[in-house]
Structure 1
Amino acid sequence: MSKYQHVLIAVDLTEESHQVIEKGQGIAERNGAKISLIHALEPLGFAYGGDIPMDLTSIQDQLDQHARAKIADLAAPLNIPQERQHILVGLPDSEIHRIAKEQGVDLIVVGSHGRHGLSLLLGSTSTGVLHGAKCDVLAVRIQKED
């Protein structure tokens, strides 16, 4: 079994994010590894097809500020310093791969909503992370919260 030194936990900042964090935190603690958190915001131009004839900069900035506040709240109980709290704008799987490479990450932990069928086993972000990663990837099945 590998001894991990740096665990990157990818969160979507939903209520279920703590499930992914708990799993990544447990692995990091057992290995004496440091933890980083990452959340990638898709650019609004991607979300709306880039066909909106308006400046979305202020909205994107608000989303970025909200995400930074949420990730700081998630990081605080784990004592994760700000330099290991990553909020990025771009395609989530690409940004996760880039940070993992830059930071020397040896385990990426992502959430999976466990849809049915082989092609839907992982969500699109989880699948993208898994297929392009140069390190181990753990997909944590998200349990529906009642």
Structure 2
Amino acid sequence: MSDYSKILVAVDLSEDSAEVSHKAHSIAAVNNAELHLIHVIEPLSFAYGGDIPMDFSGIQDEIHQQASQQLSSFGHVNNIPIERQHIVLGRPEVEIHSKAEEIAADLIVVGSHGRYGLALLMGSTANGVLHGASCDVLAVRVGS
């Protein structure tokens, strides 16, 4: 295994995030590496399409506020300082790659649900992260 100095842990703040974080902590301990957390909020316009004539800004602000609180709590429990907790708005795979490059991460750790069939063909965040990363990616199987 390579020596890692900065590890970016992508979390969705579900129950599975603890398992992903645990794996990242194990690798960080062996390598004396710095851990960063990232949570990406997808804009509601991505989820519901741009054709719906609705203003989602209030709902989007509420989602951001709740996610910020959850990430802060998760970071505290996992001993990751606030300055290494990142919450961003956008497409998860794009934002995870961007943050990894910004902080010079040499490993990205992300959860994977091990999808198959139609779900695999439609893609997943873990698959998107794996295929565009400029560093190593560890996909931790969760929820099985």
TM-score over 0.5 for the pair? yes
> Matches of 2:54 and 2:137 in 1, distance apart?
38
TM-superposition CA deviations, 1:25-76 (whole Å, max 9, x none): 1101111001001111111111101122121111111100111111111110
Instruction: Describe how 1:1-146 pairs up with structure 2 within 5 A.
Output: 1-116=1-116, 120=120, 124-144=124-144
Structure 1 stretches of 4+ moved >4 Å = none
How big is each residue's C-alpha offset from its partner over 1:84-106, in whole Å with a ceiling of 9 and x where there is no partner?
A: 11111000000000000000100
Query: By how many angstroms is 1:82 displaced?
Result: 1.3
Q: Whole-Å Cα distance in 2 between the matches of residues 114 and 54 of structure 1? A: 35
Specify the code of the residue in structure 2 equivalent to 1:24.
Answer: A
CA–CA distance in 2 between the matches of 1:132 and 1:5? 20
CA RMSD of aligned residues (A): 1.9
| Uncovered stretches (5+) of structure 1, i.e. residues with no partner | none
